[in-house]
Structure 1
Amino acid sequence: METPAEQTTQTPSPLGGMRASMARGGAIVSRGPGAIEWIALALSVLWLFMVLAFWFFAPGVAGAASLFNTVSLMVGMALPIAMIWVAAITARGAREMRAEAQALKQSIEAMRMAWLNQQALRSDQSVERKLDEIAAVTRQAETTIATFASRRDSHATQPSADRKAALVAPPPLRPDDTEPMLALGTPAEELRAPISIADFIRALNFPDTPEDKEGFRALRRALEDRSTAKLLRSSQDVLNLLSQDGIYMDDLTPDRARPALWRRFAAGERGREIASLGGIRDRSSLALSAGRMRGDTIFRDAAHHFLRQFDRTFGEFEKNASDQEIAELAETRTARAFMLLGRVTGSFD
């Protein structure tokens, strides 16, 4: 069975602390007589001894026994003893009141500290929520600024993203003999309209849900383009391999890099000057990917193949894309995989 002290230490709440403190104060009576009671008892015995000694040893007192003397003796014996115990009970009550007041003070202090801690916790949560809102507004502002800072042709207006071609590839020198030829000798692939920038970006992000009809339409459209299809297949391979370790692009929140930095990357610049492109800071994802890169040959080959395809395709995309469209591409799942694997392989070192 637990002692009252053990039961008191196990009570976590402030109100429990009040009950425990009151229990400690009430334990004074339950433990038996205290110092005050022993002092009162000693004084009572001493007084009785003095009265009896006076009765038996004082000359002529014992022989002059009468009703008045007997009553006086009894009153003389009982009245001081009663006063002694009244004083003892009063002292004990005062001590208990002081103990209860101290316990009440401690419980109020505990409640005050609990309230302060709760307010501090709520304040921290409010600050985090406000910081998230500020970050979201900042990202939106950066996107808006990028829209106005987009490159514009001084002689012509840029077509919209759903009409402008995503990739600017050089025309082939001659048609491949293995391709199906039309009557005039033109490959069927060259007569197909190029994929638009809007579909290209939507395809690189892959469909969000099985009901994402626009996403699947853009994906089918992108797979008809040879260069884009290579990038999409390599991206799908690395995304599937990363998901085996529980790494999903939707869980990552990369730092946003300026479109000008992406253009420098497309122009061939490498190293620390463009290190901001590797905006993935999630340590667990970086550590898991680095370990997989060292120990899994298939993953390493797929990652390097994906990085080469992204490098080549983005170089073509940048030539015909505005800063706003580059910023939108950087938010896709494929671009996040590039940031993650680029940091793991040291492409930005």
Structure 2
Amino acid sequence: MAQDREKPEPLGMFLRSEDSPPFGPTEIVAALLALVWVVAVIAYALISPASDGGGLLGLVMTLLVVFLPLALIWAAVTTLRSVRVLRAEAARLQATVDAMRNAYLLSQQTQAAIKPVVEQKLDEVAGVLATFQTRRDPGLTVPSADRKAALVPPHRGAQDEQPALALGTPAEELRPPVSVADAIRALNFPENPDDREGFRALRAALEDRNTAKLIRAAQDVLTLLSQEGIYMDDLRPDRARPELWRRFAQGERGRTIAALGGIRDRSSLALTAARMREDTVFRDAAHHFLRSFDKTFQEFEKVASDADLAELADTRTARAFMLFGRVTGIFD
């Protein structure tokens, strides 16, 4: 009994019903008819007067009269049995389709119920790591071009020259600005669970409000694109000169900067365009990502060197920008 409970219940197609008995109602009726016919033939042969039989033709006609009805009876029985088997197979097939449909709907409902909870937990973990991270990177004490701020800090007015009280100082003002190298590494996201440097840079970037907005927007669109089987690592965009990136940051749009849209993969472009037409959530996430990228990149370009711009253009976030830029017509 315990072993039977442990076995998973198979779908209808693989659940073979017990074989029907060899003699059902149809077979019994057919057997009775055949018996009645044989008795009738024997009675006729005994009662009817003897005759010469009409030779070979008479013998053939006698055999046909005796055995043809029997053959027709059992042919009808075989046909009925085949119809019964086909009906049973159709019922099992329908049960299989219903079971697969119910399993698919259940999996979709379960995934829809679990996904918001998982995303909320991930956001909470990221927030905790960003808030309570106290270990300072020893590399920050060494002057380096890679440690320059990725975003230009806002200019303080004359009224802000006086020192603020410790209890009234915002937490953002106490943190050092995220470096260019960390911002670029964070926008490319960690390569794998063992990429400690990538996670360190991601935590540092999440502490900056503007960079964190872009990272979360990029994470949303990359997740949505993966549902269509589109992954940034599979795309090989054409490289654009840093001057074009600077012209884009300064507000230039249209064909003069068309080289920035270096994604040429027709399948990815078609799938993305179709999803944007059909899915309002996908379309809103894409436009939010483009606005966040535009706003953050304008500040990033002011402190980034040409080498920094070239490295940024090779990140997963920049590739997603190229893809959505081509689809939305930014470079037209």
The bucket for the TM-score relative to the shorter chain is 0.5 to 0.7
Percent of aligned positions that are identical: 78
For 2:289 and 2:158, the matched residues in 1 are separated by 28
Q: CA deviation at 1:188?
A: 2.2
> Following TM superposition, by how much is the alpha carbon of 1:174 offset from its aligned partner in structure 2, in angstroms?
11
Q: Which residue of 2 aligns with 1:178?
A: none
Q: Distance in 2 between matches of 1:300 and 1:169?
A: 32
1:318 to 2:318 alignment: no
Report what 1:345 is aligned to. Answer: 328
| Pairing 1:309–2:257 present | no
For residue 150 of structure 2, what is the aligned residue in structure 1?
A: 166
The letter of the residue matching 1:304 is: H
The aligned runs of 1:157-196 (5 Å cut-off) are 160-171=144-155, 182-183=165-166, 185-196=168-179
1:264 is the counterpart of 2:236: no
In structure 1, C-alpha distance between the alignment counterparts of 2:282 and 2:241, rounded to whole Å = 30
1:254 maps to which of 212, 224, 237 = 237
| 2:222 corresponds to 1:222 | no
1:294 is matched with 277
Q: Residues 88-135 of structure 1: CA distance to partner in whole angstroms, max 9, x if unpaired?
A: xxxxxxxxxxxxxxxxxxxxxxxxxxxxxxxxxxxxxxxxxxxxxxxx
Displacement after TM superposition at 1:173 (Å)? 6.3
Counterpart residue number, 2:183: 200
Match of 2:84 in 1: none
Query: How far apart, CA to CA, are the structure 1 residues paired with 2:156 and 2:229?
Result: 42
What is the identity, as a one-letter code, of the residue corresponding to 1:330? A
Give the alignment partner of residue 285 of structure 1, picking from 257, 268, 286: 268
Give, in whole Å, the separation in 2 of the partners of 1:264 and 1:325.
15
1:29-68 mapped onto 2 (5 Å cutoff):
none
Whole-angstrom distance in 2 between the partners of 1:182 and 1:227: 25
Following the alignment from structure 1 to structure 2, what is the Cα–Cα distance between the partners of residues 239 and 182?
A: 42
Is contact 1:254–1:280 with CA below 8 Å preserved after alignment?
yes
Q: 1:71-110 alignment to 2 at 5 Å?
A: none
The AA in structure 2 aligned to 1:269 is: E
Amino acid at match of 2:202: L
Q: CA deviation at 1:193?
A: 0.4
Deviation at 1:160, TM superposition (A): 3.4
SS in 1 for 2:144: coil
Please tell me the residue identity of whatever aligns with 1:261. L
* 1:92-171 pair list within 5 angstroms: 160-171=144-155
Instruction: Specify the SS of the correspondent of 1:193.
Output: coil
How many correspondences in the alignment?
186
Q: Please, which runs of 5 or more residues in structure 2 have no aligned partner?
A: 1-142
Whether the aligned pair in 2 keeps the contact of 1:169 and 1:316 (CA below 8 Å) is: no
Aligned to 2:226: 243
Pairwise CA distance, 1:161: 3.9
Q: What is the match of residue 58 of structure 1?
A: none
Helix, strand or coil: the match of 2:146? coil
Larger CA Rg, structure 1 vs 2: 1
Amino acid at match of 2:151: L
Mapped contact 1:182–1:188 kept (Cα < 8 A): no
Structure 1: segments with no counterpart, 5+ residues: 1-158, 176-180
Q: Secondary structure at the match of 2:177?
A: coil
Contact (CA 8 Å) 1:270, 1:347: kept in 2 or not? Answer: yes
Mapped to 2, the partners of 1:331 and 1:272 lie a distance apart of 21
Deviations 1:24-78 (A, max 9, x none): xxxxxxxxxxxxxxxxxxxxxxxxxxxxxxxxxxxxxxxxxxxxxxxxxxxxxxx
Tell me how far apart the structure 2 counterparts of residues 312 and 212 of structure 1 sit (CA, whole Å). 28
Q: CA deviation at 1:186?
A: 2.8
Displacement of 1:287 in angstroms is 0.2
- 2:222 is paired with a residue whose SS is helix
Judging changes above 3 Å, is the alpha-carbon distance between structure 1 residues 188 and 348 closer, same or farther for their aligned structure 2 residues? same
CA RMSD in angstroms comes to 1.8
The 3-state SS of whatever aligns with 1:319 is helix
What CA distance in whole angstroms lies between the structure 1 residues aligned with 2:171 and 2:165?
7
